[in-house]
Amino acid sequence: MSPTPEGGLTEEERRPLIDNEGRALLSKLLEDPRAPRYNHTCGDRLTTAGLARVRAFEQETAARTGWAQGRPPAWVAGFASRVSTQVPAYRRAGALPARFNQIPTVSRADLVRDPYGFVPDDHPLDDMVVYTTTGTGGTGVAYIASTPEAAASYCVLLGAALGLHGLALEGGPGRTAVAQVCWQRSTYTYASVSSFLDQGATCKLNLSPADWRAPGDPEAFLEAIAPEVLTGDPVAFARLASLDVDLQPKALLSSAMALLPGLRAELETRFGCPVIDVYGMNESGPIAAGLPDGSGHGLLQPGLYVEILDPAGRSCPPGERGEITLTGGFNPALPLLRYRTGDFAALDWRGGLPVLVGLEGRAPVHFAAADGRAVNTIDVSVALGRFPLARFSVHQAADRSLTVGLDGSGRAADPGVREVLGELFGEVPVTVVDLAGAEEAVSYSSELTGG
Amino acid sequence: MTAAGPPVEVLTRRLLETPGEFLAPTTVVPALVADLLALHGAVSLDQAAGALLRPLESPEARNWLGCVAVSSWLLADPTLVAPGSGERAWVFLTGDDLRELASLVPAPALVSEPDRREELARRALAALELVPAGETEAEAADRLTTLDSSERARVVAATREAEVRAEAVREAMHAKAAAEAAAKASRE
């Protein structure tokens, strides 16, 4: 996901609340001789009123409310009633059914087909922000309408993810609060100052050598700005870990792809801090974050109701896996009403709060062993998760042969990978290929059909 | 309290046979209405009431008077004439319902268009507190809602408003997608 090219904002519109300390920090980030060749300009666009709303959202988030098993939270009925009349995409479904679980679900395909229909009738268009995303579901480009406040709320939710681990995102003047690292052929990069983080900075950096002026600059620059936390995906973090860089962040927040336990352990050792898996999607922002004991993902958003549905759209009982389906959210330009995510997990309750368990960010893929026995993708994740891989892909052909893609840094694991796959699949041919250079590998695919 | 009225078809047939002079600009509408009220056993039209029906210059007012004339012809059908119904007839002819209909439908359409004939017939029956023969009260109400010109006009206006909004959202999203976004601290 990338912010779109800049278009005509004044500095006042881009950073309405920046002060002298913020300006000084921004200049430092932009003018440091070791800084990357930023290719984008971006601010938080937060006004005084907008900042007040983000702070109010932070307070709500800190309260960590949930809902009782089998009963939607009280706000859901009013929300559903409002969006069913105010949002064209939901209004088309007709009158709201008497029971919440009878409301038709929507999916990314609906959003791709008609992104405009998800913007409420009463949502102002002047201050809208639009992101585009391709995702990995093969449904095409989705336009996501959003607001500067929703963008700033990401920091609130990253703070909530840290809170699950007894940490906090502090920010403050003169400090780089969040550095987002990427390892991509190309992506937008920028430095910004956040009024929500009390004039602390956020920046987005691509570790690709082409983005920097000289070798060694990425390491030197990151050490100079000493970010409070780092965000990124597992591929970027694996790359970061391979650099000769001395960083002491509070935490690494990993998103966008499943973080495998082997890599998480390696990163935790390398950076001496928790590595937190944050589950989210462009449509909703961060949804849940991995708990310290690894037993599940705690929900982050106070106004997001999560259901787990079976293929027929029925609610799964606690502990039973199904499709994660969302209602609510913090983005007023894209209210979600029973939005099927295409991701799978079960819901469990801990201390009265719902928790996602067994999160798997993809639709179930049908794998079969040599003898025809079904092989669960979770088993494959567990087996391959023992290796320090940034990512992998497993494709099974109709003849049950496997093609396993390993990120370049994981090729050394080749013999071990073959061995654990043999344990799961039996005697099937395995071809190992290099994933280096692939943009976003889908982990699992199969030519076999379920049954 | 409602009573059984004639079949709707009897009334739509009568409307189809409306004499041309009822729609002529020279028609003296107060005289038509006075005759009608007499037929329904009401006292004759007083001066103040008659003034309500005086020809006016605006096209809207002239159209309304045309609708009153056609309605007078309709209400004179023997199946509708009953002692004591004069007041209801008067309220219908001068009330908000017929004025709203007149603001949306040209008077000649109450004769020439099948749906508008049926709508006027059903509105008149409802005003006289009659249910069409062979229908329940609920069926009659449903059918009138289906034909309701003002409801249709509201739906058309709402649809138009939705189209304008959808176009504005589409334009704004395309423009914003090509413009600078706001900083986010992580990716999905």
In a domain, B165, yes or no: no
| Phi and psi angles of residue B69, each rounded to the nearest 5 degrees, phi first | -65, -50
CB of B144 closer than 8 Å to CB of B123 = yes
**pLDDT of A386:** 75
A282 contacts in chain B (CB < 8 Å) = 188
Q: Is the Cβ pair B169, A255 closer than 8 Å?
A: no
pTM: 0.72
Closest among A352, A361, A233, A196 to A287, alpha carbons compared: A361
Distance from CA of B170 to the nearest CA of A (A): 6
The pair of structure tokens assigned to B32 is 């038509």
Q: CA-nearest residue of chain B to A121?
A: B165
Specify the residue for token string 């809208």. Answer: A128
Q: Is the Cβ pair B186, A286 closer than 8 Å?
A: yes
Q: Which residues are bridge partners to A360 per DSSP?
A: A344
Domain extent at residue B27: 3-147
Q: Is the Cβ pair A154, B170 closer than 8 Å?
A: no
Q: Is the Cβ pair A155, B162 closer than 8 Å?
A: no
A182 contacts in chain B (CB < 8 Å) = 187
**pLDDT of A344:** 92
Q: Distance between CA A243 and CA A206 in Å, rounded?
A: 13
Q: Is the Cβ pair B182, A253 closer than 8 Å?
A: no
Q: Distance between CA A216 and CA B52 in Å, rounded?
A: 92
CB of B126 closer than 8 Å to CB of B11 = no
Q: CA-nearest residue of chain B to A169?
A: B185
Instruction: Note the pLDDT tens digit of each residue in A78-108.
Output: 999 999 999 999 998 888 998 999 999 999 8
**pLDDT of A448:** 83
pLDDT by residue for chain B (188 residues), tens only, comes to 478 899 999 999 999 999 998 988 888 888 889 888 888 887 677 766 777 777 677 888 889 999 999 999 999 999 999 888 888 899 999 999 999 899 888 899 999 989 999 999 999 999 999 999 999 999 999 899 888 888 888 878 888 888 899 999 999 999 888 787 778 887 77
Low-confidence ranges of chain A (pLDDT < 50): 1-6, 136-139, 363, 439, 441, 451
Distance from CA of B103 to the nearest CA of A (A): 28
Q: CA-nearest residue of chain A to B173?
A: A130
| Phi and psi angles of residue A344, each rounded to the nearest 5 degrees, phi first | -125, 140
CB of B180 closer than 8 Å to CB of A7 = yes
Give CA separation, A95 vs A103, A107, B138, in Å: 9, 19, 21
Q: Which helix (H) or strand (E) holds A22?
A: helix A20-31
Instruction: Note the pLDDT tens digit of each residue in A130-186.
Output: 988 755 444 456 789 999 999 999 999 999 999 999 999 999 999 999 999 988 767
**pLDDT of A373:** 78
Q: Is the Cβ pair B182, A41 closer than 8 Å?
A: no
Q: Is the Cβ pair A180, B185 closer than 8 Å?
A: yes
Q: Is the Cβ pair A88, B166 closer than 8 Å?
A: yes
Q: Is the Cβ pair A155, B185 closer than 8 Å?
A: yes
The single-letter DSSP state of residue A440 is S
Q: Which of A11, A14, A45, A154 to mutate to test the interface with B (most CBs of B within 10 A)?
A: A154
A143 contacts in chain B (CB < 8 Å) = 173, 177
Instruction: Note the pLDDT tens digit of each residue in B9-26.
Output: 999 999 999 999 898 888
Q: Which of A130, A156, A199, A259 to mutate to test the interface with B (most CBs of B within 10 A)?
A: A130
**pLDDT of B14:** 96
B177 contacts in chain A (CB < 8 Å) = 4, 130-132, 143
In a domain, B78, yes or no: yes
The domains of chain A, with CATH numbers, are 11-63+168-273 (no CATH), 367-446 (3.30.70)
In a domain, B170, yes or no: no
Helix A234-242 to helix A261-271 angle (10° resolution) is 40
CB of A271 closer than 8 Å to CB of A263 = no
Q: Which helix (H) or strand (E) holds A241?
A: helix A234-242
Q: Distance between CA B110 and CA B155 in Å, rounded?
A: 21
Closest among A24, A14, A11, A15 to A173, alpha carbons compared: A24
**ipTM (interface pTM):** 0.75
3-state secondary structure A264-280: HHHHHHHHCCCEEEEEE
**pLDDT of A327:** 98
Pick A8's closest partner by Cβ from B169, B179, B187: B179
Closest among A204, A194, A190, A181 to A155, alpha carbons compared: A194
For residue A214, which amino acid is it? Answer: A
Q: Is the Cβ pair B184, A4 closer than 8 Å?
A: no
Closest among B1, B20, B4, B17 to B130, alpha carbons compared: B4
In a domain, B152, yes or no: no
Give B120's contacts (C-beta < 8 A, 6+ positions apart): B15, B70, B71, B74, B101, B110
The b/e string for A30-64 (b: 16+ C-beta within 10 A; e otherwise) is eeeebbbebebbbbbbbbeebbebbeebbeebeeb
In a domain, B184, yes or no: no
In a domain, B182, yes or no: no
DSSP B5-27: ---HHHHHHHHHT--GGGGSTT-
Q: Distance between CA A335 and CA A329 in Å, rounded?
A: 6
Q: Is the Cβ pair B184, A151 closer than 8 Å?
A: yes
Q: Which residues are bridge partners to A130 per DSSP?
A: A145
Q: CA-nearest residue of chain A to B182?
A: A44
- As for how many domains chain B has, the answer is 1
